Amino acid sequence: MNSLRGFEVVDEIKTAVDKYCNASVISCADILAVAARDSVEILGGHFFFYEVLLGRRDPRNASLKDSNDSLPKPFADFPELISNFQSHGLDLKDLVVLSGGHSIGLAKCVTFGPRIYNDTNIDKSFATYMQQWCPVSGGDNNTEPLDATPAELDTVYYKALLENKSPSF
């Protein structure tokens, strides 16, 4: 629900590559890894460029339920996030780095509504500003960026977190 969308595009790419090569030579996981790397570069993260090692295998039995159960919930607090990451063999550094992905894109108000109305650790003027876009009722599906530069991969997301001016925890 609150994760990646657009997997039909990945399926189309895989079908086209498989047809072109007359074989299944690339996995959906490889396509996602390359797309993530290229997206980072396009969004201004050219200083993050890295080689993508190909050769991942797609799982034999993918499960949307298992994926959603494994991802941290939108309302997870810091201890819950650390616990979730540790259960997957990841550490605090991984949590910080992967959280930076929230620098781009939008989130539904339902995922952060409780924070802008109930959290005492949020900047009050920021909360008031966000409340006009995410009303208490009727605005759950409205979308808002998680930082001031949602089309750029930069450090604005992290700065907003430090200033308590983010709908994220």
Interatomic CA distance for residues 48 and 66, integer angstroms: 30
Please tell me the total number of residues recorded for the chain in this structure: 169
Q: Does the annotation list 147 as a binding residue?
A: yes
Place of tokens 């930076």: 100
Interatomic CA distance for residues 75 and 103, integer angstroms: 18
To which residue do tokens 């991969």 refer?
153
Class of residue 10 by CB neighbours under 10 A (exposed 0-12, middle 13-18, buried 19+): middle
Q: Is 72 annotated as a binding residue?
A: yes
DSSP string, 87-131: HTT--HHHHHHHHGGGGSSEEEGGGTHHHHHH-TTS-HHHHHHHH
Is 154 marked as a binding-site residue? yes
Nearest by Cα to 83 from 72, 67, 74, 93: 72
Can you say which residues are annotated as belonging to the binding site for substrate?
A: 72
Can you say which residues are annotated as belonging to the binding site?
A: 72, 102, 147, 149, 154
Can you say which residues are annotated as belonging to the binding site for heme b?
A: 102
Can you say which residues are annotated as belonging to the binding site for Ca(2+)?
A: 147, 149, 154
